């Protein structure tokens, strides 16, 4: 396994890029709207991982709610797994609370599933299928 990306909630990607790209020096290699999650994302590689900037595309986006409650900041950690269905099964069998019982299509067309913070010690965890 590896950390596929760190998801960072922001009111606006363009504004966030002033820090992450212009000032820090990372490169934004991919921007995409993920309709299913009502977010626009930008992916900035950092070592073998990435920073994922998340901007809400509507008021009822999960990111809108997060920004209201906590302001911007780290929203989730994404771990790459070889077999996402097996990983979900394993977690479920151990009584872990899943947000997604089945994988769905996330950014970059990859299969993803979220694990509830109640089971992880307060971290929203995203599983991403290895490509």
Residues forming the site for Co ion (CB under 5 A): 7, 52, 78, 126
Give least dist CB 101 to Co ion, A: 18
Give least dist CB 81 to Co ion, A: 14
Calculated CA dihedral for residues 74, 52, 33, 106, nearest 10 degrees: -90
Handedness of CA 32, 39, 36, 98 (dihedral sign): positive
- Name which of 8 and 17 has its Cβ closer to Co ion: 8
Distance CA 31, CA 40 (A): 7
Indicate the residue whose CB is closest to Co ion. Answer: 7
- Name which of 17 and 78 has its Cβ closer to Co ion: 78
Q: What is the DSSP string of 36-70?
A: GGTEEEEEEEETTEEEEEEEESSTTSHHHHHHHHH
- Name which of 80 and 126 has its Cβ closer to Co ion: 126
Give least dist CB 7 to Co ion, A: 4
């Amino acid at each position: 396994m590896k950390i596929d990306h760190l998801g960072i909630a922001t009111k606006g990607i363009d504004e966030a890029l002033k820090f992450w790209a212009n000032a820090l020096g990372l490169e934004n290699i991919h921007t995409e709207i993920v309709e299913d999650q009502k977010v626009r994302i930008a992916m900035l590689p950092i070592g073998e991982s990435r920073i994922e900037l998340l901007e809400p595309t509507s008021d009822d986006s999960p990111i809108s709610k997060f920004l209201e409650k906590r302001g911007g900041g780290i929203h989730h950690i994404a771990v790459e797994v070889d077999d996402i269905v097996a990983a979900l099964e394993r977690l479920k069998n151990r009584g872990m609370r899943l947000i997604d019982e089945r994988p769905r299509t996330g950014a970059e067309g990859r299969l993803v599933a979220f694990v509830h913070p109640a089971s992880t010690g307060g971290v929203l965890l995203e599983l991403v299928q290895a490509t």
